[in-house]
Amino acid sequence: MAKGRAFHHDPEYRAKLSAALKGRPKTAEHREKIRAALVGRTFSDETRARMKAAAKGRGKGRKLSPQHRANIAAGKRGQPRPDMTGELNTKWDGGVAPTRFAGWRKSIRLAVISRDQVCRDCGKWDARPRCMHVHHADFDETNHDLVNIVLLCVTCHRARHSSN
């Protein structure tokens, strides 16, 4: 071991260092620096054992209970899909998820349906649930002015968004 590195093993220095680094996210650059610094260094058996134990504590080789696995799976299922965000997803249901769309009221949807009655683009009406959508003509999902909201069928609604 080179003499210049000796201070790295001073217990006080190490404690300060680890305290300073604690909780700080390691950037890719940082990780690369660490990796570069470690390359070519040899570790004693004792050090290797300590590193192995530390890695274990970070979740490597950790055995999860079935309940824990289920929780993780449920959490992942609940995450929004990037291709299903915004109006393409829940907004089409209008008042179903009112908290996600500021100012939205089921009454707005009902008002638009009673005013337009059919799809503004193709004239179709489909009474099945979720088949008629209310669409913000200017694509501003917070502009609930009735002149900005039009009734569309699923197909035409999709077309309006894909042509944009």
Handedness of CA 62, 68, 73, 76 (dihedral sign): negative
Interface with Zn ion, residue 149, by CB under 5 A: no
**Binders of Zn ion among 105-144, rule CB under 5 A?**
119, 121-122, 124, 135
3-state secondary structure of 16: helix
Q: How far is CA 153 from CA 121, 134, 139, in A?
A: 8, 9, 16
Q: Identify the CA nearest to 160 among candidates 132, 140, 135.
A: 135
**Binders of Zn ion among 2-41, rule CB under 5 A?**
none
Which CB, 70 or 147, lies closer to Zn ion?
147
Which CB, 10 or 133, lies closer to Zn ion?
133
Which CB, 67 or 164, lies closer to Zn ion?
164
* Burial classification of residue 125, based on how many CB atoms lie within 10 Å of its CB (0-12 exposed, 13-18 middle, 19 or more buried): middle
Site string for Zn ion, 81-100 (x = CB under 5 A): ------x-------------
The contact set with Zn ion (CB under 5 A) reads 87, 119, 121-122, 124, 135, 153, 156
